[in-house]
Structure 1
Amino acid sequence: MTGSEESPSFRLAYVPGVTPAKWVKIWNERLPDIPLTLVQVPAAEAPEVLRAGEADAGIVRLPVDRTFFSAIPLYTEASVVIVPKDHLITAADEVTLADLAEEVLVHPLDDVFDWDAPPGEPAFERPATTADAIELVAANIGLLVVPQSLARLHHRRDLTYRPVVDAPQSSVALSWPEEATTDLVEDFIGIVRGRTVNSTRGRTAAKPEATPSGKASAKSSGKTAGKTAGKPSANSAGRTGRARTGGGKPADKRGKPRRRS
C-alpha cells in the first residue's frame, strides 16, 4: 500500500503492448475509494521501478528475478515479423525463421526477446527503441520481429505483419516484490485471477448479515439451523445402528421404560 493509512492508493506499472484496462475497470468497481494509478514504463526498466517502490506491482515481460520478485504468468504472445505492405512475405499466411535468413533484420536495443542469435542479416545499426525500428522498416531498411501486441501498438498503414511460427515468444506476468505483498496487492491478484468479490481466497470474504444488535440475522442463522434440524446426533445414530443389528441381545430390552420411584 502506498500513501498514508487515511488515503491509500495503488500504483500499477505496465510495459508497452500490455492493456490493463479490463483489470482496472474491475478494480474501480470493487474498490472505488482507492484510486489506481497506471505507470507506463519501458520493459527493461520495469524491474527497477518495482525495486525502487515507484509502483506496487507491475504487468511485465518475463523473465524476472525470482529471488526478489513474485510473478503470476498471465499469457504468452505470438511473435510476428513486421514488413512493408508490398513485401514478398505478405504472400504467405505465416513464415519461419528460415524464411527470414536472407532478410535484413532490425534488432533494437529494447528488444524483448532473449535471442541466442537474431535471425537474418544484421542491420547497419541498432536503433534505440522499437518505435525507431518501425521507422526503419517503413523506410525499407529491414524487417522487425516483435510480440504481436507491439506490432498492433505501432500500427501503420504502410506496414503489416505475419506470424513467425518458430520464433521465441514473450510471456507477460503480474509481478511485485515478494516482501511487499500488501493487502492491495492481494486484491489485485484476486482480480487478475478472476476471483469473485466474495471468493474465500480473497482478502475480503463476505460476512453474514448483522442485525442492529450486532448478532447474525435470522435469515443467516436459519440456514445453519435448517441444515441440522431433524437430524439425529452422531451418538444417537450410533445407538440406533447397534439396536438394528442386535448385538446378541433383543433390541426391545434396550428400549424398555424405567420404573419411576
Structure 2
Amino acid sequence: MTGSEEPPSFRLAYVPGVTPSKWVRIWNERLPDVPLTLSTVSAAEAPGVLRGRGADAGFVRLPIDRTGLSAIPLYTETTVVVVPKDHLVAAVDEVSADELADEIVLHPLDDTLDWERPPGRPAFERPATTEDAVELVAAGIGLLFVPQSLARLYHRKDLTYRTVTGVPESRVALSWPEEEVAPDLVEEFIGIVRGRTVNSSRGRTPTPPQPKQKRPDKGGAPRKQGAGRTGGKPGAKNARGGSGTPKGAAKKGKPRRRP
C-alpha cells in the first residue's frame, strides 16, 4: 500500500428510531481491521446523503425516492399515538383511528408515515420536527401518531403511548447507492443484516475444514492377548468349547473330608 492510499472503512447512516448496535457489534467481530463509523440523519435527508456518497449504506424509512439507490425492506413498525398520561386513551391497550376523530392531531413536517395528513382535527400549525411535536403533546396541544421506536426515543415521564389500528405503518429498509464505492464491504454488511453466518457462500471466504486429529491411546501399552485363542478375551471359551481353564488345573473349592 502506498502512502497516498487510505485504509478501508465503512460509513453507515441511520434515521432516528433505528438501533444499529447489534449489526455494528457483529461487524466489529468479523472485520476488526475495517472501522465502521455511524452518523444520524433525518428521514428526509437520508436518500440525499446516500446519493451524495455521504455514507456507504444507511437505514432509511420507506417510501423514498429510489433514483440511484438500491433498498432491501427489513421490517415494519407498529404505529402508536402519543398522549398525556392522564388522557382517556391511556386507560386502554389499543385504540382505532376512528375513535380519535375528534382529537387535535399534530402533523410534524418530518412525519415518517405515508399519508397526506393524519386522522383527527389538524392543529393550526405543523411542528417542524417530531421532537417538537412531542413537546406540544406534553403541553396539552394535541396528540401525535409515530412509529413505536420514535415514541420510545422521545419518551417523557409525563407521556405514554398506545397502539393504533387503521393507520399506515412505517417500514425500515437498508439502502445504498447503486454504484457502490466499496461493493465488497456493502455486500458484507448486507449479509450481516440478513443474518448470514461468517462461513456463508455470499459472505467472507469460508473457513476451510480442519483435519480431524487422531485420539491418543488412553492405555498407552499394547493389550495382552487372552488365555484362550489368539486375540480372545480372558475367560472366553476355547476352540473346543471348553471353559478356558487348562486341563489338569486344580479346581477351587472346599477340600473333601476323608471317611
Corresponding residue number in structure 2 for 1:179: 179
SS at match of 1:24: helix
Corresponding residue number in structure 2 for 1:125: 125
SS at match of 1:11: strand
Corresponding residue number in structure 1 for 2:147: 147
Q: Using the TM superposition, give the Cα deviation of residue 201 of structure 1 relative to its aligned residue in structure 2, in angstroms.
A: 1.8
Q: Deviations over 1:39-80 (max 9, x none)?
A: 100110000110110100001101233342111111100000
Letter in 2 for 1:194: G
Corresponding residue number in structure 2 for 1:97: 97
d(CA) in 2 for partners of 1:168, 1:130: 17
d(CA) in 1 for partners of 2:6, 2:101: 59
Corresponding residue number in structure 2 for 1:188: 189
Q: Using the TM superposition, give the Cα deviation of residue 113 of structure 1 relative to its aligned residue in structure 2, in angstroms.
A: 1.1
Where do 4+ consecutive residues of structure 1 move more than 4 Å?
A: none
Q: Deviations over 1:201-225 (max 9, x none)?
A: 22x222547xxxxxxx8x39xxxxx
SS at match of 1:95: strand
d(CA) in 2 for partners of 1:207, 1:34: 19
> Which of the two has higher C-alpha Rg?
2
Q: Is the 8 A contact 2:82 2:144 kept in 1?
A: yes
Q: Which has the higher helix share?
A: 1
d(CA) in 2 for partners of 1:143, 1:65: 29
d(CA) in 2 for partners of 1:56, 1:176: 6
d(CA) in 2 for partners of 1:207, 1:131: 47
Q: Deviations over 1:152-201 (max 9, x none)?
A: 00000000000001111000010001121611000100100100111012
Q: Is the 8 A contact 2:112 2:170 kept in 1?
A: yes
Provide the TM-score with structure 1 as the length reference: 0.76
Provide the TM-score with structure 2 as the length reference: 0.77
Corresponding residue number in structure 2 for 1:54: 54
1:112 aligns with 2:112: yes
Unaligned runs of 5+ in 2: 213-259
SS at match of 1:55: coil
Corresponding residue number in structure 1 for 2:8: 8
d(CA) in 2 for partners of 1:208, 1:161: 51
How many residue pairs were aligned?
A: 208
Identity of aligned residues (%): 72
Q: Using the TM superposition, give the Cα deviation of residue 6 of structure 1 relative to its aligned residue in structure 2, in angstroms.
A: 4.4
Letter in 1 for 2:25: K
With over 3 angstroms needed to count, the CA separation of the structure-2 counterparts of 1:117 and 1:130, relative to structure 1, is closer
Q: Is the 8 A contact 2:24 2:36 kept in 1?
A: yes
Two-structure CA RMSD over aligned residues (Å): 1.6
Q: Using the TM superposition, give the Cα deviation of residue 116 of structure 1 relative to its aligned residue in structure 2, in angstroms.
A: 3.6
- 1:1-261 mapped onto 2 (5 Å cutoff): 5-180=5-180, 182-202=183-203, 204-206=204-206, 208=208, 219=211
Unaligned runs of 5+ in 1: 210-216, 221-261
d(CA) in 2 for partners of 1:116, 1:47: 20
d(CA) in 2 for partners of 1:30, 1:39: 21
Letter in 2 for 1:168: P
d(CA) in 1 for partners of 2:154, 2:31: 33
